[in-house]
Structure 1
């Protein structure tokens, strides 16, 4: 079984913001796999389905970004899923818009959602897909920046990045993380 978690904030005001690219990728995967992500369980919107022969749980935590770990520890304890079968998708300000980076493990860095997950799970050895959202301008508040929407001229790049992230998750599930890293880490 795979648990694919896209990080974001619930609510209309946060839709399509830089911080919600994880939710956007879950939406693409849900459409691709014909999985309805509408059941409320584990402080999240979840949907269960199959990708090939693998059972998959798509997850959009509803705890707000900084408490994402509460959802993941609940799911981890309930489903007893292997750590390497948890895939977390989230925004990264250190990557240009539309770039993605896949890692097998790592720290949470400055990302509060990832820090919450690592703290709650007590581990950091699960794969993740980081989606580039670019850096704020000098002097711009980081929180304001990640809660902003993409500029018109960024829309094409972000769409390509979201699609690439969804395809990478597909490869991670159907094949393995190494192949996804080789194919998508540019």
Structure 2
């Protein structure tokens, strides 16, 4: 496995979205930056908020796109072009409807599950490109026609606490990828 060089937290830009379930990926990246005493700075050329941290002596770039979710691939493509990252060197962190709050799992490759941010990244990187993912459970509203309102609304406090707790656990497990390997990280998170 190639080392991960870019960690992307998917989100929608703007204050009206920052507390919504769809921004779980950004919550993860913000906490990761904070944990390493870095602040994310807006970079207009790279279409997002970026920072650089070091995980077990590996330099890692962080990105929260400032594009809307369904255009996330533009920011990821800008970063990969600028830094010459390969798709398999990217970890995309995103909200996952199929997991309850409090559950998170790593995955490599596979389908996008209808997630518009993932769809756009796959399209912009090349549909055959595989990248790593960290899927953070937000639950499901139960009906397909309620999904958009659900992901664009804040979770109740009890769910937000479970999401925050699994993000904290995921941060530790992400660091294990660099200190040990992905298999150890998966074993500890799942």
Q: TM-score, normalised by structure 1?
A: 0.93
SS in 2 for 1:88: strand
Q: 1:116 pairs with 116, 120, 137, which one?
A: 120
Report if aligned partners of 1:19, 1:146 keep a CA contact under 8 Å in 2. yes
Shift of 1:83: 2.6
Report if aligned partners of 2:10, 2:94 keep a CA contact under 8 Å in 1. yes
Q: How many residues align?
A: 185
- Distance in 2 between the 1:175 and 1:56 partners? 16
- Aligned pair 1:64/2:68, yes or no? yes
The 5-angstrom pairing of residues 24-173 of structure 1 reads 24-40=27-43, 41-122=45-126, 123-138=128-143, 141-173=146-178
Cα 1:73–1:180 shift into 2, 3 Å: same
Shift of 1:140: 5.3
Structure 2: runs of 5+ lacking an equivalent: none
- Distance in 1 between the 2:153 and 2:93 partners? 18
Shift of 1:52: 2.5
Shift of 1:174: 2.9
